[in-house]
Homo-oligomer: A and B are copies of this chain.
Amino acid sequence: MEQLEEKIAREGEVVSDDILQVDTFLHRQIDPSLMDAMGKALAQRFADRGITKVVTVATGGIAPAVFTAMYLNVRCLIVDKNDTVPQDDRCFVSVTSRTQQKDFVLSIENGYLNEKDHVLIVDDFLANGNTITGVARLCHMAGASVEGIGICIEKCFQDGGTKLREAGYDVQSLALIRTMSETAISFRMQKEVLPDVF
């Protein structure tokens, strides 16, 4: 997605070998027109999958996920992310975020997802894929099927995308970063031939 790649090239800041800061338009500060365009683009890629719910994790995923859900005309469910195991009987999984170097417990409160649901997982970044793998496991535990994974920015030099695709998931990313350094960011070329459904 050209608009996103241009924004990353212009405003993104590579702060270490594997951390790209996009604070000016996606995290600390959000550019709503870009969120709208990203949501539309992700919804287009999964428009024919009968999606019943978009699922994301706070906080970076919320804005793109809500816009995606708007174009798919479904609600957006936010997975809880805590330091401790929930005290009620809900489904939960423990994950280690290698990017944030921290362990988390992801959970979905009972009643929000069931076997009738066809889920599209949306998140801001895909790096090592541990968080998204955890979200997919949670969806399966609730009985839902995961129809796809929509990502804003995938760091192709980390192995999350490969692992998730090898596991059979349809992973679609709007910007694919091939390499990055303090002085340059290069993108993997994408073929974007999409039906104009919206």
- Please tell me the size bucket of the interface on A: 20 to 34
Instruction: Determine the chain B residues whose CB is within 8 A of the CB of A30 once the complex forms.
Output: 62, 66, 69, 75-78
Tell me the number of copies of this protein. Answer: 2
Asked if A67 and B29 sit within 8 Å, CB to CB, the answer is no
Asked if B63 and A31 sit within 8 Å, CB to CB, the answer is no
> How would residues 60 to 85 of chain A score, 1 for a CB under 8 Å from any chain B CB and 0 otherwise?
00110011011001011110100000
Interface of A is mostly: mixed
Nearest CB in chain B to that of A31: its residue: B75
Asked if B62 and A29 sit within 8 Å, CB to CB, the answer is no
Interface of A toward B, CB cutoff 8 Å: 23-25, 27-33, 35-36, 58-59, 62-63, 66-67, 69-70, 73, 75-78, 80, 109, 112
